[in-house]
Amino acid sequence: MLEETQFLRIAQSLPLLQLANQALLEEFKQATFFARIPAGRDVFLEGDRVEAIALLISGVVRVYKVGETGREITLYRFGNGSSCILTANAILSQNTFPAIATVEQDAEAIMVPADKFREWIQRYDLWREFVFELLSQRLSKVMEVIEEVAFHRMDRRVAALLFRQAKMKNPLRITHQ
């Protein structure tokens, strides 16, 4: 259960809550809980059972796959005001998590239990629209990753990454290895 001060802070980070009706708001306060997740922690490993979905209010989570050779591919990252579509999919399909999700920057999240997540999709149009919009946005990002890997040369992908990072003024710590 969320305390009122936590809820007020969270409502500013999640536009969904600013549009929700009173019934959804009350259920949200009762059913959800606050979590701090430190950088470096795996939220899910491939094959994990999903009990709740995190709505991030701060931090960044990387979702990726690891091949048999140990090579990794980042599917997407998500941050403030967003969530993980693979978690949503695992909850809706009642399957296990199909990738790895690791916190890259210390995160604060609101955790929505899986049963409430499913129930609210059926009961609240606003919640359902939020989930479908999330799925749509993230699927587009995954398609961009597939397109880049399949159709663009490595040197151009690296140059584009460096350019994006420079524009965002994010430090990039890498080596040649």
Would you tell me how many other CB atoms lie within 10 Å of the CB of residue 97? Answer: 21
* 98-107 pLDDT per residue, tens: 999 999 999 9
| Residue 176: pLDDT over 70 | no
pLDDT at 119 over 80: yes
pTM summary value: 0.79
CA distance 101 to 115: 21
Domain boundaries, the chain: 4-138
Nearest to 20 by CA among 35, 6, 10, 33: 10
pLDDT one-digit tens code per residue, 77-97? 999 888 999 999 999 999 999
> In this model, does residue 72 exceed pLDDT 80?
yes
Question: What is the pLDDT at residue 170?
Answer: 61
* Phi, psi of 91, deg, nearest 5: -65, -50
Q: pLDDT averaged over the chain? A: 88
| CATH superfamily of the domain spanning 4-138 | Jelly Rolls (2.60.120.10)
Which of the residue ranges 24-33, 74-83, 84-93, 150-159 would you say has the lowest mean pLDDT?
A: 150-159
